[in-house]
Structures are given as structure tokens and as C-alpha cells.
Structure 1
Amino acid sequence: MRIRKIATAGAVALTTAVASLTFATQAQAAQACPDYYACLWYNSDWEGAIYVSADPVADYTGKKFVTSAYTNGSNGAGLGVKNNSASAYNADPDYRFRVYYNSNFNGTYAYQTFSPLSGGNFTATMKNQNASGQWIGW
């Protein structure tokens, strides 16, 4: 009986710890991405270097990731953003942010849209296939 109680308590503690890590990561993403901006990360789960943008970008060529103090941000720093992003966060409270597979906001093949004040990992189709991004409803 005592072993079962210890095992149950351990499982509850582990579940709570994992849930806390998930929420901490979202909070870190929101903290790293300034209000009204869109941010892309080199790694999944808002990890690694970050790219911060306040304007629509028709082509991510020439844009670079920088180190982020909030999200374990050295991995990918200095690398190009185009076709290198694994996650994103939209810090705009009013507009959706859309990332396109092709340059010039061309979504005929694929795109991924992030609701206001939300983000996540890119889908398998979009991961490392980001070429442009803009707010929808501007």
C-alpha cells in the first residue's frame, strides 16, 4: 500500500513538473517576443536563437537569428531565418500572423497562421520552410 502511494505521488509530481515546463516555455516565448511583434525561433518549442519583426517581410533572405536571453537562445544565432525556423509566436493582440512557404506572401503550396497572442511549432510541412510572413487583417 505504501509503495502504491509513493508511486502515485511520484506520478503526480512528474505530471505537474512537465506541465510547469510547458507553461514556462510559453511564458518565456511571450516575454521574449515584444508586444505587437512576431517572432520566429531556430528550434522547436521557442528554443534557440530568435528573429523579431514588427513589419511584414516578403522574403526572409538576409534576415538573421540573434541570441535570446529568454529562451536558451544561442543555438542558430547568426544563421539566416529563411527556411530555418521551427517555431513562432504572435505577440499582436489584434491580428493573426501568417508564415508562408514561399516568398512574397505566396501560400499556394502552404502557410501556417498563428492567432493573436499565440504560437507554436511549425507543422511538418512548414518546419524549416518559411520564406515570408505578414499579419492578416491589417
Structure 2
Amino acid sequence: MSVSKKLVGAAIAAAAGVALLAPATAFAGTNDNTCLSGDNCLYFNSNYQGAVAGFEFAVYDFAGYNFRGPGNGAGQPVKNNAASDYNNDPNCTVWVWYNHGYQGPADAIAPQRGLPQLQHTYNQNASQSWTC
């Protein structure tokens, strides 16, 4: 588990005492067009197709991030445009939230699992957080 995810988990637990609902601090970084171990990978299309945005940190607001790589959606904003998600982290659950700031309905994706079509945040994804 990366240090940033441990810190996010500790910040979440300390802030509210409820690890699943507390806001986490976003860490500086950029998304890329790969789905490396430790990344949460949002895809522009269903079934893990199209351009991808990979994040290994909490994101308070997806505004300003774009999908990368070849395929449908390359260059499009990540916010409110993801159709599927694969959590490529071996230990932590990722939460994809409907609203920025980790608010509203959410899809929880277990480690090394995915949703070929997001259920609660399909094309309505605004932030992501982690629980470990």
C-alpha cells in the first residue's frame, strides 16, 4: 500500500471516525493513460474501453483532469464522463463519488475488481477516495 493511501486512510479515520464517509485530503499528482498496480482506472466507455485516467491518490474534484491515451474520449474531462472503473490496487477499496468533495451516491470498487458499467455514478463522477 502506498504511503499516500495510508495517509489518506488515516486522515479519513481521524477526521470523522467513520472511515467510509470522511473526506480525504487530495494529493498532488497527475493522471496517466495507464492502469498500473495501485491505480484506480476510470474509462470513458463501458466495459473498460476508450481512453483511461489512472489515479493512485484521492481526488477532491475531477475538474481539470482529462482522459488520456488512444480511444474514444481522449482529451475529454474526467469529471462526469466515466462509464466504467477498474480498481487495480491490491489492498484498498476505491469510492467514486457523484459530487465533488466525496459527497452523494457512490460506487465502491473492491481491490482488484471493476465495474464494467458504473452503477451510481455513470457519467456523473466528480471525486474519488480510498479506504484501506
Structure with greater helix percent: 1
Unaligned runs of 5+ in 1: 1-31, 68-72
Letter in 2 for 1:54: E
Structure with greater strand percent: 2
**1:128 matches 2:130:** no
Q: 1:111 aligns with which of 103, 106, 109?
A: 106
Partner residue, 2:39: 37
* Deviation, structure 1 residue 134: 1.3
Give the whole-Å Cα distance in 1 for the aligned partners of 2:71 and 2:62: 20
* Deviation, structure 1 residue 54: 1.2
Report runs of 4+ in structure 1 exceeding 3 Å deviation.
none
The superposition leaves residues 76-127 of structure 1 with CA deviations (integer Å, 9 ceiling, x where unpaired) of 00000000000001111111000000001113xx10000000001201x411
Partner residue, 2:64: 62
> Pairwise CA RMSD of aligned residues?
1.0
**1:102 matches 2:99:** yes
**1:81 matches 2:83:** no
Tell me which structure has the larger Cα radius of gyration.
1
After superposition, where does 1:14-25 map in structure 2 within 5 Å? none
Give the whole-Å Cα distance in 2 for the aligned partners of 1:100 and 1:115: 15
Partner residue, 1:12: none
